[in-house]
Amino acid sequence: MEYKRYCTVCGKEKIYNSLDSFRANKDSLLCRSCARKIIQKKNHPNKLEKLLEETAESYYWMGYLLADGHFSENCRVSFVQNNEDKISVENFKKYIETETPIFYKNRKGIDSASISVMNVDVIKKLIEKFDIKSNKTYSPPDKSIFEKMDIDMLSYLFIGFVDGDGHIANLHKRKDFSLRIKTHSSWFDILDIFSKRIFGLENYTKINNQGYADLQIGDTQLLKQFKKKYVNNLNFKLAERGFQ
């Protein structure tokens, strides 16, 4: 015989297979999912909901996380950076206003900083909004997300993506500089959308000899125009290696 009780928050049915179990859990008013949410909020509160806002900073961080973060199936987002880029983990922690600690490690001379936060309701919405898969390296979001995205928000997301997966460098013995993003070939269409929608450049994304999707932009004036329009007036800290 089954004995039933209902979660006082979501109404989900809780089934007990014996009367003893039913009586022993008489004070258990929440389902496992709702109880986990409450414990998480109590122990490590955060404001991940800021990532759902239509702002420059929220799209910057989403671009960074799409490049270098990990969204797990249990609604946790993890962010790890090495060496000088570890300051970005600290900046992210400040942005989402969490008490979750950062873990610092040194392995074979490489310093790293990592943070992992959970917010079931928010991360579900982020996964839906940006079509994020847990194995996003090989399964990127649907390209239509980026084709339809407001061009300003796409540009801020691009800045974050560059900080996570790109590189900006001065040309040898010159003041000119170039931008490069090299990532898994599955991201080819999205890199192509970046170059077309943001810079008006056709056929700039290639598959290189190693099989990676490779976007290279060497037009210094075009990059300076982009930086003047989208980067120079930002009121938050960017990664050291990017558009800073």
Q: Tell me the C-alpha distance between 201 and 69, whole Å.
A: 28
Mean pLDDT of the chain: 88
Residue 8 — very low, low, confident or very high, per pLDDT cuts 50/70/90?
low
Residue 70 — very low, low, confident or very high, per pLDDT cuts 50/70/90?
very high
H runs (alpha helix) in the chain: 19-24, 32-43, 56-68, 87-95, 120-130, 144-148, 151-165, 188-193, 199, 220-226
Mean pLDDT of 8-32: 67
Predicted local distance difference test score (pLDDT) of residue 74: 83
Q: Tell me the C-alpha distance between 234 and 75, whole Å.
A: 29
Say which amino acid occupies 137: T
Instruction: Kindly report, residue by residue over 38-54, the tens digit of the pLDDT.
Output: 555 555 578 999 999 99
Of the listed ranges 2-6, 91-95, 201-205, 212-216, the one predicted with least confidence: 2-6
Of the listed ranges 105-109, 124-128, 179-183, the one predicted with least confidence: 105-109
Q: Do 90 and 103 touch, CB atoms closer than 8 A?
A: no
Q: Tell me the C-alpha distance between 66 and 52, whole Å.
A: 14
136 vs 23, more confident = 136
Predicted local distance difference test score (pLDDT) of residue 244: 65
Residue 241 — very low, low, confident or very high, per pLDDT cuts 50/70/90?
low
Residue 227 pLDDT exceeds 90: yes
Predicted local distance difference test score (pLDDT) of residue 243: 73
Give the position of tokens 């008489």.
Answer: 26
Residue 239 DSSP class: P
Residue 12 pLDDT exceeds 60: yes
Q: How far is CA 11 from CA 15, 25, 74, in A?
A: 12, 17, 21
DSSP collapsed to 3 states, 136-189: CCCCCCCCHHHHHCCHHHHHHHHHHHHHHHEEEEECCCCCCEEEEEEECHHHHH
pLDDT > 90: what percent of the chain? 63
Q: CB under 8 Å to 91, separation ≥6 — which residues?
A: 236, 237
Q: CB under 8 Å to 132, separation ≥6 — which residues?
A: 66, 71, 126, 141
